Structure 1
Amino acid sequence: MKLITAIVNKEDSRAVCHDLLKQKFYVTRLSTTGGFLMAGNMTLLICTEDERVDECIGVISNCCKQRTEIVPGTATMGLGIESAMPMQVTVGGATIMVTNVERFEKL
């Protein structure tokens, strides 16, 4: 058994969960916040058989695409003057970690 931990953008999370459930993967969702943009994420916990790991990652990959967005940023111009300058950042995609599970029970 493997535990797949996937951190996905909140905007992508609904489609990801829908497709994972459709493919008979059981998902636990946790609302999380990213550190850099302080934007909403969803951390998904998926426990599955070893031979289905690539299938699960494929489902996540199909739903989570990277895209660029313009977000407000701040820049210091010296002398304590700050200006809000928009920044272009890449959001979306997924961060996926796969770990071994020694024991799994569904009670």
Structure 2
Amino acid sequence: MKLIIAIIQDEDAGEVISKLNKEGFQVTRLATKGGFLRAGNTTLLTGVEEERVQEVMGIIEENSKSRTQYATLPSSCGAMHGFILAPIEVNIGGATVFVVDVDQFKKF
């Protein structure tokens, strides 16, 4: 058994969960926040048999879209006295996925 941990954009979460449920996968949804842009994310947890890992990965990949966004990076030194920080273009979205071995699984 494997535990799949997928960090995706909030905008993609509903569609990913819907597609996973349609294929019979149970999903736990956690509201999370990224550290770089401090934007909302969704972290999905699902336990699957090893032979179905690629099926889950395909659903996540097909339904997690990468986007371009402009953001002003937060300053760690406070106000920049007269300097205006120009927005920078960053790629967001897609998915970050971890697949972890599960030693034991029980459902009570």
TM-score (structure 2 length as normaliser):
0.89
Structure that is richer in strand per residue:
1
Question: Structure 2 matches for 1:70-81, cutoff 5 A?
Answer: 70-73=70-73, 80-81=81-82
Amino acid at match of 1:16: V
What's the secondary structure of 1:13's corresponding residue?
A: helix
Amino acid at match of 2:34: G
Q: C-alpha root-mean-square deviation of aligned residues, in Å?
A: 1.8
Partner residue, 1:31: 31
What's the secondary structure of 1:7's corresponding residue?
A: strand
Partner residue, 1:100: 101
Aligned length: 105
TM-score (structure 1 length as normaliser):
0.90
Structure 2 stretches lacking a partner, 5+ long: none
**Which ranges of 4 or more aligned residues in structure 1 deviate by more than 6 Å?**
none
Distance in 2 (CA, whole Å) between partners of 1:14 and 1:84 is 34
Question: Structure 2 matches for 1:22-61, cutoff 5 A?
Answer: 22-61=22-61
Structure 1 stretches lacking a partner, 5+ long: none
What's the secondary structure of 1:35's corresponding residue?
A: coil
What's the secondary structure of 2:72's corresponding residue?
A: strand
Identity over the aligned pairs, expressed in percent?
45
Distance in 2 (CA, whole Å) between partners of 1:13 and 1:50 is 23
